[in-house]
Chain A
Amino acid sequence: MIDVNWRALIEVTLVTFLGGLLVVTIVSLAAALLQSSYLATEAGKARSAFHTLEAWLSIVLFLIVIGIVGFGFYLLVPWWH
């Protein structure tokens, strides 16, 4: 009788898929917002409130990613949990 831990397999699949997409989406959004803000500055346009908001939003997104990475390191180090 082959004893497969199907529950763990499904969990690993879901966490990998959703976790991977979440991190890549957040970093991509943060990068795109920062890029948009820089492009506006580079084009010599006056920095509008919208572009300032973009820059701040990208910082918030990066902080969220730093939190996720920190959680990843927490999982990696057995002493911490």
Chain B
Amino acid sequence: MAEALIVVVIVITTALVFDFTNGFHDSANAMATSVATGAFTPKQAVTVAAILNVFGAFISTEVAKTISSGIVNDQLVTPAVVFAGLTGAILWNLGTWLFGLPSSSSHALFGGLIGAVLASAGLAGINPSVIVSKILLPAVVAPVVAGVTAMFATRIAYWITERDGAHGRFSRPIFKYGQRISASMVAVAHGTSDGQKTMGIITLVLVSSGHQESGTQPYFWVILAAGLAIGLGTYSGGWRIMRTMGRGLVDIDSPQGFAADTSTTTAILASSHLGFGLSTTHVASGSILGSGIGRRTHVRWSTATRMAVAWLLTLPAAGMIGAITALLVGLGTGGLVASLALLVGISGFFFWISLRNRVHAGNVIDSHEVQVASRTREGAHA
């Protein structure tokens, strides 16, 4: 009994850690362009995004009935499988953060769960057609739809406002105000959708361990903990990814930033209300790229290619970590302790590596590159 309770506590703590990584991994989705154009200072951006993430987590308690949306057989999702899936997602999130690569936290979670279920129940536990329709197809569609929209929107914005020779002296502050509003909307939407995932996971674990009745709403402390975890994660910045999205892909000007943010907001609102879910990360990255093409500015295709590779690897990489963790956890208490030690150790190692080239609020827009291997003066003096 005591052992079962310890497992529940470990899984809930791991879920909140995932929620934290989700926050700092995705804060750039809402705020990178606003920071790049100066619509928000870096500290203002993460403060506003964190508050709106927490607000977003509180405005809906419609916890998803299935945490995996049918991608895996939810009957097979035990606390041990959830722990293994979360481990895959956390390590993938931290690895991509270290390299400054925006990748979908939801896809990492799904990948981790798929791997864990494959390891514990075999092929019968997963639904390949749902993987294609809910993960692979949207991953291709999201950046294209948002990118094409942002490209045309950017052209229109410049065509309309740059014709009078004033070079946007009066119109640019208006675009910056617009950016603040659209970025805020993305932050609220992120808190609502991603905060819900952690609430769903914790509620599932509580129900499966007999601490909560099936079909009931999440406890208030679950909503509060999930909201605060994603909010704190967002406040901590995820500056490495913010740099890649704000400076690494294209140089962003305010009309272009407004066009990108508006495309992102419209795509997210449309996808969440018309039944075809799109990843916020893929939408936001596509919008930024599209806006760069629309403005005919220099696009750093090498960074875009690295991002695309990360997107392709998210599912198999998180899945492999999830599968290995599920096999370890399947060995019993010793396996669980070993998995936990590996999770903490590898996370600490990633953090230690990141200190060699620290990216923070003070230097986030100073460069367009996120260094990992070599120590730079910037990192040494941070």
A49 on the interface (CB 8 Å rule)? no
Give the size range of B's interface with the partner: 35 or more
Q: Count the A residues whose beta carbon is within 8 Å of the partner chain — how many?
A: 38
Q: Are A16 and B129 in contact (CB under 8 A)?
A: no
Nearest-Cβ distance from residue A56 to partner chain B, whole angstroms: 16
Across chains A and B, the number of contacting residue pairs, with CB separation under 8 Å, is 137
Q: Is the interface of A mostly helix, strand, loop or mixed?
A: helix
The distance in angstroms between the C-alpha atoms of A22 and B364, with both chains bound, is 32
The CA-CA distance from A76 to B273 in the complex, in Å, is: 9
B133–A5 touching, CB < 8 Å: yes
Q: How far is the CA of A27 from the CA of B173 in the complex (A)?
A: 12
Q: Which single residue of chain A is at the shortest CB-CB distance from B276?
A: A8
CB neighbours (8 Å) of B324 from chain A are none
Q: A75 interface residue, CB < 8 Å from B?
A: yes
The digit string for B3-20, where 1 denotes a CB below 8 A from any CB of A, is: 000000000000000000
Contact between chains at B149 and A17 (CB < 8 Å): yes
Would A28 and B267 count as touching, CB distance under 8 A?
Answer: no
Within 8 A of A (CB), among B256-313: 258-259, 262-263, 265-267, 269-276, 278
Structural contact, A24 and B153, CB atoms closer than 8 A: yes
Binding site for A on B (CB under 8 A): 56, 59-60, 62, 129-130, 132-133, 137, 141, 145-146, 148-150, 152-154, 156-157, 160-161, 163-164, 166, 168-171, 174-175, 178, 181, 185, 188-189, 192, 255, 258-259, 262-263, 265-267, 269-276, 278
Q: What are 14 contact pairs spanning A and B, CB under 8 A?
A: A2-B132, A11-B270, A13-B141, A15-B270, A16-B267, A20-B267, A21-B152, A27-B157, A27-B174, A35-B161, A35-B164, A36-B164, A75-B272, A75-B273
